[in-house]
Structure 1
C-alpha cells in the first residue's frame, strides 16, 4: 500500500470517526493510524525521510500527513519532526509542513505552539486555538514559514470546521 493510499484511508476514517461517531469508528481510525505509522517507520528505516525526490510531491505530502496524525506515538512524531527539519533544509519538505508538525509535537508535549496551526474542538465544539508561545510574534513566525496571518487562518479553520451541532433532546418517536 502506498503512502497516498494510507493517507486516503486515514482521511476517510477521520470523516467516519467525526462526532457523533461510534466507538468502533474511533477504534478503526486508531488502527489505520497505527498501520500508516508502521509503514512510514519502515520506509524511514530503509530510505530516510520520504521527501520529494524519493516519493514525489504527493507522496511527500502523504508522508508528512501520516507523521502529523501519529499522535498515539509521540516518540515517533518527535523523530519525524527532526527528519522533516532536515528535509526542509534539503528542499525535500516545506516549511509549512514543519510548522504544522512542530505545533502538533509541542501540543502533545504540553507546550504552547509556535505557529498557531493547531485547534481543539473538544470542550466547545467550536475550533479554538491551543495556547501560543509569544503571541505578539506569532504572525512574524508564521510569515517565516510561508503561512498566512493567523487571523486569516483562523477564519479559514472556522469556515472549514463549523461548530458541532449540540445533540437534540427531543424525541422523534410517534
Structure 2
C-alpha cells in the first residue's frame, strides 16, 4: 500500500515537473522575436557594411558587392561619402532608440546572435553612449550581451569624458600639429589607461583574447602607456 502510494505521488511530481519544463520552454519561444531579429540583422549589415566600405582597404570585387548591398552608386559614394555615412548612422540610431524604448535592450534571448550586438554597435558609433551605457551594462550583467562589448563601451565613455580607460580597448588620433598638413602631424595612440601595469590581467578576467600590446599591434599602433598629462601636452588640436 505504501509502495503504491509512493509510486503514485512520485508520478504526479514528475508530471508537474514536466509541465513546468514545457511551460518554461514555451515562454522562451514566445520571448524570441524573429521579426525583430530580421530588422536588427538589416541594421547590423548597414552599420558594418558602410564602415568596411569607407575604410577603403578592400578589393574592387568586395567594393562592388557592398555598393550593391547598401544600395548606393559608386558615383554617389565618391561625391557624398561623409554625408552618406553620417546619415546612415543617424537613421540606425533612430531605429535602435525606438527598439530599446519598446523592448528594452534587444539581447540574446530576444533576437539571438549576432543580432544581440546590433544595438551595441549603433550606440558605440553614436554620440549617445552616456545615455545608453546603463542599458548596455545591465544587458551584460544578464548575459544578453558579451561582457567584452560592455567593457569596450565603458572605455569609450571614459575616453569621451577625457578620463583614463580601464581595459585599453580604445585608440585615438592625436594631432601633434594643428591644422595638420602632412601625415606625421598626427599619430594614433592607445588612450591612457588607469592601471597599465595590471591591464592585461583585467582584460583576461573580462574575456579579451589578447593583451593590450597585441591589440595595439593589430591596429598598427606602436603601444606606449601614455598618461593624460602627456596626451594633453601632445595634442595641438585643443
Residue 33 (str. 1) matches residue 70 (str. 2): no
Residue number in structure 1 paired with 2:39: 2
CA contact under 8 A between 2:100 and 2:106: conserved in structure 1?
yes
Q: Give the Cα separation in 1 of the matches to 2:212 and 2:170.
A: 11
Count residues in correspondence: 154
Larger radius of gyration: 2
Structure in which a larger fraction of residues adopt helix: 2
Which string of whole-angstrom CA distances, capped at 9 and with x for unpartnered residues, describes residues 8-32 of structure 1? 212232234347x968211211111
Residue number in structure 2 paired with 1:49: 105
State the shift of 1:127 in Å.
4.2
Q: Give the Cα separation in 1 of the matches to 2:188 and 2:88.
A: 24
Residue number in structure 1 paired with 2:150: 98
Residue 69 (str. 1) matches residue 125 (str. 2): yes
Residue number in structure 1 paired with 2:28: none
Residue number in structure 1 paired with 2:139: 87
Q: Give the Cα separation in 1 of the matches to 2:160 and 2:78.
A: 24
Residue number in structure 2 paired with 1:138: 199
Moved more, 119-128 or 146-155: 119-128
Q: Give the Cα separation in 2 of the matches to 1:18 and 1:88.
A: 29
Structure 1 46/98 Cα, relative in aligned 2: closer, same or farther at 3 Å?
same
Name the SS for the 2:168 alignment partner: coil
State the shift of 1:126 in Å.
5.8
State the shift of 1:3 in Å.
1.9
CA contact under 8 A between 1:10 and 1:29: conserved in structure 2?
no
Residue 149 (str. 1) matches residue 149 (str. 2): no
Q: Give the Cα separation in 2 of the matches to 1:122 and 1:33.
A: 24
Question: TM-score normalized by structure 1?
Answer: 0.77
CA contact under 8 A between 2:47 and 2:121: conserved in structure 1?
no
Segments of 5+ residues of structure 2 without an aligned counterpart are 1-37, 57-76, 176-183, 222-238
